[in-house]
């Protein structure tokens, strides 16, 4: 395999994946506009600063490199923000995917691993969600992901595109070597927010909704270690390289943890008292999202190594403690 273009490779999941790709001996090219990514995360492989929505930038990348496959992470990803700014999400996420697919087509690149989301699923959310569960996204962010999946399905029939759509559940944790971790500005994800309170960087954690129909009233999510997600991308590339069929794959542990359970586990890991405050539910949030990853295990040979939420939190805690000791560059 020649070079692998990783869009959004300076972001949280992208950077972990690029590190794993390089460790596996694969040559990578990261394309990231650094709007939410970080230059110090793009330390593995080649780096190009640019926007995936810009056709000229993509043309230069594909013309100057020997790209054999693409992993597409680049996207805006905040559910609440997408509800407030839907047009931006469709322009950025769907527009970026269209520009990328067009450039791939012009240069004869037909292998794509796409960063999708479990948010493409619709209610009811009882039990474990399989890939056959109805898709009925609840937010513009989620609808943008499902639109891109549909476009890839159409392109596969029309032009021979070979793709894997990885439907993540909740990414969490950090590189066990603490070289890269979860850093967003502003921060919206539960695990880093909890740990920032433990570090004294925030006074308290807001819990958005304690009236969900769950045992403790807080929303339930399936947390999957970012390292396990990164490994799944390498397996997806190998699957396509070996002639495997295109389609979606869930990536999750199949274990649901409520917001309150994550907080209690963080208190145990950090030894800190984590103050909380109840707040109203956020638009677009689901009650429960827990995935069945049987297909990824059977077809891709994917076996997540981190199942215990405490193990996941421990790697994140190591990263965040290290992160407080320096001011990273943008």
Catalytic residue, candidates 141, 168, 223, 306: 141
CA distance 37 to 254: 29
Is 141 tagged catalytic? Answer: yes
Pairing of strands 111-117, 162-168: parallel
Burial of 328 from C-beta contacts in 10 A (0-12 / 13-18 / 19+): exposed
Identify the CA nearest to 56 among candidates 6, 99, 5.
99
CA distance 327 to 55: 34
Q: Which residues are catalytic?
A: 141
């Amino acid at each position: 395999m020649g070079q692998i273009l990783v869009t959004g490779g300076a972001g949280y999941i992208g950077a972990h994946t690029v590190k794993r790709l390089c460790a596996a001996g694969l040559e990578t090219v990261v394309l990231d506009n650094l709007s939410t990514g970080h230059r110090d995360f793009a330390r593995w492989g080649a780096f190009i600063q640019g926007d995936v929505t810009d056709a000229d930038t993509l043309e230069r990348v594909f013309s100057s490199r020997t790209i054999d496959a693409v992993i597409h992470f680049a996207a805006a990803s905040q559910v609440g923000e997408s509800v407030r700014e839907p047009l931006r999400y469709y322009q950025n996420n769907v527009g970026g995917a269209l520009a990328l697919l067009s450039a791939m087509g012009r240069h004869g690149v037909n292998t794509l691993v796409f960063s999708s989301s479990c948010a493409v699923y619709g209610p009811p959310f009882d039990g474990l969600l399989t890939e056959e569960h109805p898709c009925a996204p609840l937010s513009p962010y989620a609808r943008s992901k499902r639109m891109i999946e549909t476009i890839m399905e159409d392109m596969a029939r029309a032009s021979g595109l070979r793709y894997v759509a990885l439907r993540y559940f909740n990414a969490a944790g950090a590189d066990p070597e603490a070289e890269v971790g979860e850093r967003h500005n502003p921060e919206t994800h539960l695990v880093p927010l909890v740990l920032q309170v433990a570090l004294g960087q925030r006074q308290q954690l807001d819990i958005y909704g304690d009236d969900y129909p769950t045992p403790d009233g807080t929303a339930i999510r399936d947390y999957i270690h970012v390292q396990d997600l990164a490994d799944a991308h390498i397996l997806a590339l190998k699957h396509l390289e070996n002639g495997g069929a295109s389609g979606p794959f869930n990536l999750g542990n199949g274990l649901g943890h409520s917001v309150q359970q994550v907080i209690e586990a963080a208190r145990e890991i950090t030894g800190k008292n984590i103050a909380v405050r109840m707040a109203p539910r956020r638009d677009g949030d689901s009650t429960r999202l827990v995935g069945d990853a049987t297909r990824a295990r059977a077809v891709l040979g994917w076996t997540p190594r981190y199942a215990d939420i405490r193990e996941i939190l421990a790697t994140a805690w190591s990263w965040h403690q290290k992160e407080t000791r320096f001011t990273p560059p943008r």
